[in-house]
Amino acid sequence: MIKSLTMRQALSLIKDGELHLIDVREMNEYAGGHIPGAINLPLSQLAARFEDLSKDKTYYIICQSGIRSERACSFLENQGYDVINIQDGIKAWQGSLI
């Protein structure tokens, strides 16, 4: 079962920079605005690049609305990674995007 948080629940962790946030939107979406501190690992590249991630960390996965991030979490969880889906995505973010 995929662990998840709402944006409201994740907000303080994100603002404090206390988590490893991965944005799985495509590069052009990420470039158009993303949460400060988020790294971009597009869902379309995840299968080829997931081994760059450490299994010693917990990753918080985000996309626009929570659908792609849920798919990414399912894939990564099956590979043995500790992941948490931010289920309502960037559309629920109330801070500035960079």
Annotated catalytic residues are 63
Q: In this structure, are residues 70 and 46 in contact, taking their beta carbons and an 8 Å threshold?
A: no
Q: How far apart are the first and last CA of the chain?
A: 32
Residues 35, 24, 95: CA angle, nearest 5 degrees: 15
